[in-house]
Amino acid sequence: MALDEAAGVSRRDEADGFIWMGLHDPDPAELEEVQVRFGLHDLAIEDAQTFHLRPKVEQYDGGRIFFGVLRTARYDDDREEVDFGEVSVFLSERFLITVRKGAACDLHGARERLEARPELLRRGPAAALWAIIDQIVDDYAPVVEGLEQDVEEVEATVFGGSVAATERIYKLRREVTEFYRAVHPLLAPLDGLERASYPQIDNALTPFFRDINDHLKLVNEEVAGQRELLAIVLQANMAVISLEQNEISVRQNETMKQLTIIATVFLPLSFIVGFFGMNFGWLTGHINSFWVFAVYGLGSLLLSCVGLYAWFRRTGMIGSGS
């Protein structure tokens, strides 16, 4: 159906059905054309072109047009990362227009689940809104499971006494935080949809929005728990790193202690050997037998070793059990 024809159908009161139009990463010219045909507000169009960090719901033209921004998420098993997308929704009594941004924003499943329930389809565009939000919230479940598995892996590593990659923990915590920002702000708009606070929402759809709200609250609780757990894991990982650094420092200190003992032992021995190796007249004239050499030479070496041993024992460098 051409854009002009679709806009004309949405303006005819006697026409049956409603217009559901989907746009994926449209350029500004396309959005401007849609804006002119359907009378959309400038600020809503501007928001539809911007990638938001938080979902939101707004009313334009005296409540005639409902505008919402929803965050989508998809867990990539190969990369162990979460891909985020965004769906902007323009809703009136006769049309529903979606603007999808990013890779994780396929709404084909929403159309299928709505077509499978013709009794809901007769409720108009608000039923399509239910199908879209229902799919987005259902797609949160695999993301929670993927993140939960990643959190359990780093938790098992850290609390097993090993050091996990700090970069991975930070990255995982950032993904969980961004996912929390996609989930938590959606609670208030869904409360409003559950109470049919918006004129476009049929009261008969409130039980279906309440079901979505229950699922979203469960996801929100799980993501909040993952954030808290990752904060604990990060602190524990830093403690394990600090403990390993202390152990390395102890080993280095022990090595330096042993090297110091060896150097201290050889210092007086080198001095004595060097002294008796000099050609002083007295030495060459008086040390002329083995016993004299044993007393002066070997005796002084033995005496220095005994003195060093006594000093090491007294200072605790040896014999203290450390």
* pLDDT tens sequence across 51-94: 876 888 999 988 889 999 999 999 988 888 899 999 999 998 88
pLDDT digits (tens, 9 = 90+) for 119-143: 888 888 999 999 999 999 999 999 9
Look at residue 134 in the predicted model and tell me its pLDDT.
92
pLDDT > 90: percent of the chain: 29
Rounded Cα distance, 317 and 262, in Å: 12
Look at residue 230 in the predicted model and tell me its pLDDT.
86
pLDDT band at 322 (very low <50, low <70, confident <90, very high): very low
Q: Does the structure show a pLDDT above 60 at 37?
A: yes
Task: State the number of CA atoms in the 13 A half-sphere of 256 facing the CB.
Answer: 6
Look at residue 168 in the predicted model and tell me its pLDDT.
82
pLDDT band at 290 (very low <50, low <70, confident <90, very high): low
Q: Which of 192-201, 292-301, 303-312 has the lowest mean pLDDT?
A: 292-301
pLDDT band at 1 (very low <50, low <70, confident <90, very high): low
Residues of CATH 3.30.460.20 domain(s) within the chain? 3-244
pLDDT digits (tens, 9 = 90+) for 198-243: 888 888 899 999 999 999 999 999 999 998 888 888 877 777 677 6
Residue range 178-183: average pLDDT? Answer: 92
Rounded Cα distance, 168 and 153, in Å: 11
Cβ 141 vs Cβ 216: under 8 Å: no
pLDDT digits (tens, 9 = 90+) for 41-55: 999 999 888 887 688
Residue type, 38: F
Task: State the number of CA atoms in the 13 A half-sphere of 218 facing the CB.
Answer: 12
Alpha-carbon torsion angle 20, 21, 24, 25, nearest 10 = -130
pLDDT band at 161 (very low <50, low <70, confident <90, very high): low
Residue range 107-121: average pLDDT? Answer: 84
Q: Does the structure show a pLDDT above 50 at 286?
A: yes
Cα three-residue angle 192-194-199, rounded to 5 degrees: 60
Determine the 3-state secondary structure of 69 from DSSP.
strand
Q: Which of 32-41, 116-125, 246-255, 278-287 has the lowest mean pLDDT?
A: 278-287
Mean pLDDT of the chain: 82
Q: Does the structure show a pLDDT above 60 at 320?
A: no
Token pair for residue 94?
């006769």
Q: Which of 200-209, 242-251, 288-297 has the lowest mean pLDDT?
A: 288-297
Look at residue 209 in the predicted model and tell me its pLDDT.
92
Token pair for residue 28?
């500004």
In the CATH hierarchy, which fold is given to the domain comprising 3-244?
A: Beta Polymerase; domain 2 (3.30.460)
